[in-house]
Amino acid sequence: MMKFKLLLACIVISFYGIAQNTFTSEDLLIMNDSIQLPGTLTYHADVKQQPLLIFVSGSGNPDRNGNQPQYGVNGNYIKQFAEAMTNKGIAFFRFDKRNVTPSNIKHILKSYEFNDLVEDVKAVIKNFKNDERFSSINVIGHSQGSLVAMMAINNNDINKYISLAGLGESVDKTLIRQYNGQNPELAKIVKTHIDELKNTGSIKEINPMLMGLFAKQNHQFLSSYLKLDPIEEIKKLHIPILIINGTKDIQVEEKDAENLHKANPKSELVIIDNMNHVLKTIEKDEDNMASYMSPDFKLSEELIEVVERFIKK
């Protein structure tokens, strides 16, 4: 049994005035056994009860703001989304994935599976479950986090679930499709490596061009991830579901959102025009990648409106 506890080890409280609204920001540390999950809660302290939205981030090692400085990613999109939702009267909790915090690395080097991310989200949910400040607990999973959130949800614990730019197929199909669009010959090798990983749990001879993806230290995580199918997982949910994707998303296709919706027809599907993978409104295609690197691009207003409506209805 996992031990869950909240450490208010260094609560930082700030006040923000945006659009004539004032909200409180608290830095919290949630523990999942030895794993540290530092995060930021924004909410209106003067409101007795408000809905809470927990954000589950995507692949790689984005911090709670959505940034990965080592790769030049500095779009700040999660922080911007948090502040926009809080200004709409929806409390928001965002946290650093386990592979962001240096003290967690020694644990990750020993063992790291997809379900570890699921257990982290369960720890976060458990922390807020009986918090009287919040009228409901809702979870939004972005990109890879869409599947993580699906698997972490107990239908009795969560009020509503949102899939934001989540895959609508197993990750092996997406990887092969993405590589096939760039280099069909390399895509064949990707498929061979994936098949070997599925069958044996490792890859003996890794193509040097694919070392970043299939490096030995990634085998355990990838093996556990390849077994999962979002289509099957979303069928298990019996709470209100909102599925969102953007037409300018160059990482996840609109078809993925449609596949998730078909798998759970009671869900609501929204395709947002001109929204990209980091939730920004993009008018020109050449600005798409630039929006990953700069916080200056505007967050999708339709996204804010759609999520507010869904959470409050």
What's the whole-model pTM score? 0.92
**pLDDT one digit per residue (tens) for the chain, 313 residues:** 344 333 433 334 444 444 446 899 999 999 999 999 999 999 999 998 999 999 999 998 999 999 998 888 999 999 999 999 999 999 999 999 999 999 999 999 999 999 999 999 999 999 999 999 999 999 999 999 999 999 999 888 999 999 999 999 999 999 999 999 999 999 999 999 999 999 999 999 999 999 999 999 999 999 999 999 999 999 999 999 999 999 999 999 999 999 999 999 999 999 999 999 999 999 999 999 999 999 999 999 999 999 999 999 9
Tokens of 69: 């400085």
Question: Which H or E element spans position 268?
Answer: strand 268-272
Domain locations along the chain = 4-168+228-312, 171-227
Regarding beta strands 134-142 and 91-95, do their DSSP bridges make them parallel or antiparallel, or are they unpaired? Answer: unpaired
- 211 CB contacts (<8 Å, ≥6 apart)? none
Helix, strand, coil distribution of the chain in percent, nearest 5: 40, 25, 35
Q: What pLDDT score was predicted for residue 156? A: 87
**CATH domain 4-168+228-312 topology:** Rossmann fold (3.40.50)
* Encoded amino acid at 28, one letter: L
Angle ∠(116,113,124) on CA atoms, nearest 5: 10
